[in-house]
Structure 1
Amino acid sequence: MTSANPSTTATDVPPVEQQTRAISVQEEGTPAQPKPAGAALSLRLATGLIGVLLASLLAILNEQVTALALADVQGVFSIGRDDGTWLTTLFEAANVATMVFAPWFGITFTLKRFTIGAVLTTMLLGALCPFAPSLQALYLLRVLQGVAGGCLPPMLIIVALRYLPPKIKLYGLAGYALTATFGPAVGTPLAALWTEYVSWQMVFWQIVPLGIASCAAVRWGLPDDPYKLERLSAFNWTGLLTGFPAVAMLVTGLLQGDRLDWLNSEFIRVMFGGGALLLVVFFFNEWFHPLPFFKLRLLARRNFAHGLMTLAGAVILLVGVAAIPGQYLARVHAYRPLQTAPLSLLLALPLLITLPLTAAVLNLRRVDSRWVMTVGLLLMIATCALGSLMTSEWIRVNFYWLQALQIMAQPMVILSILMGVTTGLPPTEGPFASAMFNSLKTFSAAVATALIEGLGTGRERFHSNMLVDQLGNHAVVTGRGVDTAHTLAQLAHRVHEQALVLTSADLYRVMACVAIALLFLVPILPVRIYPPWSTTPPSSH
C-alpha cells in the first residue's frame, strides 16, 4: 500500500524503490526529449545523427585498419609475432567489455557530451600511439583506446531509436548496418593506402579528421540534454566489477586460444573458467538490480530474443565469409593488403546503395522481414557452397562473383535483424537494447575470429598429414642429391598449398552450416512485424 502521509514519502522509501525511481527519472520526459512520432527530422538534428554515425564509423575503422596493418606496426616497433598479437587482443578485450556499460554512462552524462568526450579521447590516444616509448606503453595506449572506442557504436542505436521519426527509422538503422558491413570492408583498402603510399603513422592518425567532423556535427546537431547525475548514487558496482573482467577474460581467451593451444594452456583455462564464472554472477546481478546495464527481461520478447540469437550467428557468418578469401590469398598467393583491396572495395562501395534500398523494401508494409532474412541467408549459403569448390588456381578475380552475392545478402540479413530487435521498442529501452546488441555483436566477432583460427589450424594439420601419408604410400621420391632436395622442397610447398586450399574450402562449409542453422530458426521463433511507421502494432511478444 502507498502511504498518504507526505512526511514519510521522502524518507521511508526503501532503497530499492528509490533506485527504481531513479530509473523513472532517467526515462521521464525532459526539455530535450525527441520530437513526437511522425514529426519531420530537422536539418540540425540530422546533422547530429550523422555526427554520431561518423563517430561509430571512426571506432570501426580504428579497430580494423590497425589490425590489418599490424605487421607494419610490429616492424616499426621491432615487436615479435607473439607480442604483436597482444596489441589486438588487449584492444579488443577492452573494446568489447566497454560496450556493455557505455549506454548507461551515455544516458547519465548525456549522449551529446559523452559521445564528444569519447571521440576526443580516442583521437588523442591514437595521436600518441606512434610516439609510445616502449611496448608496455603502447599496450596501455591501445587498452585505453579500446575503452574509448567501445563507447561509440552503442550511441548510434540509442540516438536512432530516440530521435528518428518512424517513417525513416529503418534508414537510420541502415546507417548502423553501414558500420557493421561497410566499415570492416573498407578497412583493407585504407590499410593498404596508408602503409603502401603514405605513412605507417596514418594507421593511428586516420581517425583525427573524421573525429573532428564528428565532434562538430554532434556539438551543433544533438540537443543539450540535462545531466542525470542522480543515477550515480545507485551505481551498479557489482555489475561493473563482475561484467567488465568477465567479458575481457573471455575475449582474451578466444583471441589467444589458437596461439596458446586452447585448453592445453593453463592461462586459457583460467580465462575461460574465470570469465564464465564472473559472467554468471553478472547475469544474476543484472536480473535483480533495479538499475541494470542489461535488461534481461527484454529476452521475453520473441523477436528480441530471436534477433540476438540470429545476430550472434550472422556476425560469425559475415566475419568468417569475409576473412576466408583474404587469408587464402595471403597464404597461398602471398597477397598484401594492396592486392586484396579491390576485392574489399567491390563489396564496400555497392553497400552504400544496397543498404538504403533494402531499408526501403523493409519499410513497405506488405513486405515480411522474415522472408527478406530468408533470402539473405539463402544467398549466404550459395556463397559458401560456391566457395567450397575453390582450387589452388583461384586468384582474386575468382572471388568477385562471391562478393557480388554478399552485396545483396549482408544488408538483407543485418537490417532484418535490426528491424526485429528494435521495432516496438520504446526509446527508454534503447540503452538496454544497445548494450546487449553491441556487446553481443563484438563478442561474436571475437568468436568468429577464434573459430576461423582454431578450425583453420586443426584442418590444415589434418589435411597436411593426410596428403603426406598418401605421398608416402606411393613412394614418389627416391634417390639422393641436390635434385632430390629441390624436388622435396617443391613437394613440401605443394602439400602445404593444397592443405591451405582444402582448409579454406572446409571453412566455407562450416559457414554454410551456420547459415543453415540460422535459416531453420526463421519459421520457428520470430513473429510477423511491421515497419515502425505502420499504425498496426507489431506482434513482438
Structure 2
Amino acid sequence: MTTSPAAPTPPAPHPFTFRLAMGLLGVLIAALTSGLNDRVSDMALADLRAATGIDYATGSWLVSAYQAAEVAAMMLAPWFAVTFSLRRFTLTVSLGFALIGALLPFAPNGTLLIALRALQGLFGGALPPMLMTVALRFLPPPIKLFGLSAYALTATFGPNMAASLAALWTDSVGWQFVFWQVIPPMLIACLLTGWGIPQDPTRYERFRQMDLFGMVTGSAGIAMLILALTQGERLDWFDSPLYSGLLLVSLACLTVFAINEWFHPLPLFKLQMLSRRNLSFGLIGLSAVLVLTLSGSALPSGYLAQVSGFRTVQFAPLALTIGLPQLLVAPLLAALLNIRWIDCRWMLIAGATLIAGSCLLGTQITSDWARTNFWLIQAMQALGQPMIILPILMTATSVVAPPEGPFASAMFNTVRGFSSIAAGTLVEWFLSHREQFHSNVLLNAAAQKPWLLSAENGASASGSQPFLADGSVSSGENLSQFASMVKHQALVLGISDSYLMLIGFAALLILLTALLPRRVWPPQTLLNSSTTKTRI
C-alpha cells in the first residue's frame, strides 16, 4: 500500500531549549499584538474618524472588513503553515502585518483605508493559529499546559489591555500610533521567531490535493456571515436587502463547505474529529466563554461611558484589573492543572460559578454606581475567566494527536474568532432592545403617573428637578433633563438584564461541563504512566 504524498506525517520532535522557548515567545508576542490591534483600533474609532474625515458608515465598514478578513485567515492559516513551513509562514504574515500598519495612516481616502485594513486583517488573523500550533507541536508534556496558558492570554490579557493603549495613543501621542503601535512588537516577534523556531522542509506536494473549493466557499461564507453580523444593527437587519443577501449567501457557502470538508482527502476542517466528545465540548465551551467575558469588558465600559460620561482613559483601569493579573494567574492555574488529582472539570465549574456570581452582583447596578462599585466584579472576572479557558483548552487538546494539530488549530481558532464577534453582536443587540423596552415602560409610567418617576429618580445630575410641583415636564431645558434621565435609567436596567442573560450562559456551561466531557489527565502524568508500563 502506498501513502499519499500529501498525507500528514508526524514531525520529528525537537528538544525544548532556550532558543526554542524564545521562538515560542516571539509567536506569542505576534499573536498578542494581532489581537490588541483589532481592539485598540475599534476603541479609538471615533478619534480615527475625526482625524481622517471618514463618516460613520465608512468607519463601521473599517471594523467589519478587518474582522471578516481576520476570521477567514484563521480558517486558512494552518494549511499554508504546513505547506510553506511554520517559520517562513509566521515570519511572512508578521512582516506583512507590520508593513500594512505603517502604511495605514497615509491612506488618501476611506475606500483604500478599508482595503488596507482588510489586508491587514488577513495577516493578523493568521497569527493566533500559529501560537496554538507551536504550543501543541513543540512543548513537551510537563510544560504543555503552560504553553496553553500563554495561548489563553490572547483571550484574557490582550483584549483587556486595549483600552489603556487606545487612550494612550489618542489622548497623549497621536492617532497614527493606533496603527503604528504594531511595528515595534512585530519586529521583535520576527527576530525571536526567526532565531528560535526550527525550519521545517516545505511541502509543495500538498498543492496536488489542495482544497481550493473548500478554501473559497469556507472563507467567503465566514467572511460574509461576519459582515452580516457586524453591519446588521446599522442596516436594520432583515429590512435591508444587503443584510439578507449577505446572510443567505454565507449560509449557502458554509453548507457547501461543510459537505466538501467531510469528503475531501486533505480538508481544512477534519469534521470527523467532532465525534470526540472532548473536542466538541471545547468548541462549544469556548463559544460560551467568549460571551461571558463581555460581562467584564463591554458592560462596565458601556455603563461608564454612557451614564457617567467617562472617556476611555478613565475606565481603562477596570480592564487592567482583569488583564494584568493574568500574567500571574494563568501560569499558576496551569501548575494546578498539572497536579494529577485535580480534575479540570471542577476548575471549569468553579470558574463559571465565579463569573455567574460577578454577573449576579452586576444585576444590582443603579444609576448611582461609580467605578469603585465594579472592582469586586472585575476581581471575580480576573480569576474566573482563566479558570474556564484553561480547562477548555486542556480538555479539547487532550484528544488531538500531533499530526492533527493543524486541523484542530483551524477549527478552534475559527470558532474562537467567529464567536468573539457573534458574542459582541448578541450582547449589543440584547442591550439595545432591552434599553428600548425599558425606555418605553418608563415613558408610559411618566405619562400615566409622573409623580412616581419623579420620586424614584430624584434630582438630575445638575441638582435641579426636571418636574413641576404636579410632576409634569415644564420647559425645554427640563424636557432635555427628563429625556436624559429616562435614557440613563433605561440603559442601567438594560445592563442589569444583560448581566442576567449572561448568568444563563454560565449556568448552561456548568450543565454542559457536567454532562459532556470525559475526565482529562495532565500530559506529564500520561507520559510517566506510559514510561512505567514500558519498563514493566
TM-score by length of 2: 0.93
Residue in structure 1 matching 2:396, options 414, 418, 421: 421
Residue in structure 1 matching 2:482, options 488, 491, 511: 491
Residue 481 of structure 2 aligns to which amino acid in structure 1? Q
Residue in structure 2 matching 1:271, options 246, 249, 255: 246
Answer whether contact 1:424 1:532 (CA < 8 A) is retained: no
Residue equivalent to 1:120: 95
Residue equivalent to 1:27: 9
Residue equivalent to 1:14: none
Deviations 1:21-72 (A, max 9, x none): 1332x3244xxx223xxx5x20011011111101101111111111111111
Residue in structure 1 matching 2:116, options 141, 147, 158: 141
Residue in structure 2 matching 1:398, options 350, 373, 380: 373
Query: Structure 2: how far apart are the matches of 1:480 and 1:182?
Result: 49
Q: Within 5 A, what are the aligned runs for 1:310-389? A: 310-389=285-364
Deviation at 1:490, TM superposition (A): 1.2
Aligned length in residues: 512
Moved over 3 A (4+): 475-483
Deviation at 1:319, TM superposition (A): 2.9
Deviation at 1:492, TM superposition (A): 1.0
Query: Structure 1: how far apart are the matches of 2:311 and 2:486?
Result: 22
In the alignment, is residue 533 of structure 1 matched against residue 524 of structure 2? yes
Q: Within 5 A, what are the aligned runs for 1:171-186? A: 171-186=146-161
Query: Structure 2: how far apart are the matches of 1:72 and 1:528?
Result: 49
Deviation at 1:485, TM superposition (A): 2.2
Answer whether contact 1:303 1:527 (CA < 8 A) is retained: yes
Residue equivalent to 2:426: 451
Residue 6 of structure 2 aligns to which amino acid in structure 1? I
Residue 133 of structure 1 aligns to which amino acid in structure 2? P
Residue 496 of structure 1 aligns to which amino acid in structure 2? K
Answer whether contact 1:319 1:445 (CA < 8 A) is retained: no
Deviations 1:319-347 (A, max 9, x none): 34421100111111111110011111111
In the alignment, is residue 162 of structure 1 matched against residue 137 of structure 2? yes
Q: What secondary structure is seen at the aligned counterpart in 2 of 1:139? A: helix
Q: What secondary structure is seen at the aligned counterpart in 2 of 1:523? A: helix
Deviation at 1:481, TM superposition (A): 12
Deviation at 1:484, TM superposition (A): 2.4
Residue 305 of structure 1 aligns to which amino acid in structure 2? S
Residue 512 of structure 2 aligns to which amino acid in structure 1? L
Query: Structure 1: how far apart are the matches of 2:360 and 2:144?
Result: 35
Deviation at 1:160, TM superposition (A): 0.6
Cα distance, 1:81–1:465 mapped onto 2, change above 3 Å: same
Residue 292 of structure 1 aligns to which amino acid in structure 2? P
Query: Structure 1: how far apart are the matches of 2:203 and 2:4?
Result: 13
Query: Structure 1: how far apart are the matches of 2:499 and 2:10?
Result: 49
Deviations 1:237-294 (A, max 9, x none): 1101100110001101111111111122221111111111110100100000000000
Residue in structure 2 matching 1:508, options 495, 499, 508: 499
Query: Structure 1: how far apart are the matches of 2:217 and 2:283?
Result: 22
Q: Within 5 A, what are the aligned runs for 1:32-51? A: 33-35=12-14, 41-51=16-26
Query: Structure 2: how far apart are the matches of 1:156 and 1:34?
Result: 17
Query: Structure 2: how far apart are the matches of 1:213 and 1:527?
Result: 40
Cα distance, 1:480–1:183 mapped onto 2, change above 3 Å: closer
Residue equivalent to 2:164: 189
Residue 34 of structure 1 aligns to which amino acid in structure 2? P
Query: Structure 2: how far apart are the matches of 1:458 and 1:441?
Result: 26
Answer whether contact 1:48 1:221 (CA < 8 A) is retained: yes
Q: Within 5 A, what are the aligned runs for 1:69-84? A: 69-84=44-59
Structure 1 gap ranges (5+): 3-8, 10-19
Answer whether contact 2:227 2:246 (CA < 8 A) is retained: yes
In the alignment, is residue 306 of structure 1 matched against residue 297 of structure 2? no
Deviation at 1:200, TM superposition (A): 0.8
Deviations 1:94-130 (A, max 9, x none): 1011101100001101110000000000000010000
Query: Structure 1: how far apart are the matches of 2:525 and 2:6?
Result: 29
Residue 61 of structure 1 aligns to which amino acid in structure 2? L
Deviation at 1:486, TM superposition (A): 2.1
Structure 2 gap ranges (5+): 452-466, 531-536
Answer whether contact 1:110 1:228 (CA < 8 A) is retained: yes
Q: Within 5 A, what are the aligned runs for 1:199-278? A: 199-278=174-253
Residue 55 of structure 1 aligns to which amino acid in structure 2? A
Answer whether contact 2:450 2:471 (CA < 8 A) is retained: no
Residue equivalent to 2:37: 62
Calculate the aligned-residue CA RMSD, in Å. 1.6
Answer whether contact 2:10 2:402 (CA < 8 A) is retained: no
Deviations 1:405-425 (A, max 9, x none): 011101110000000011242
Cα distance, 1:179–1:375 mapped onto 2, change above 3 Å: same
Answer whether contact 1:320 1:452 (CA < 8 A) is retained: no
Residue 23 of structure 1 aligns to which amino acid in structure 2? A
Residue equivalent to 1:285: 260
Residue equivalent to 1:6: none
Query: Structure 2: how far apart are the matches of 1:228 and 1:244?
Result: 22
Answer whether contact 1:320 1:449 (CA < 8 A) is retained: no
TM-score by length of 1: 0.92
Deviations 1:420-461 (A, max 9, x none): 011242211111111000110110011111112211211111
Q: What secondary structure is seen at the aligned counterpart in 1 of 2:6? A: helix
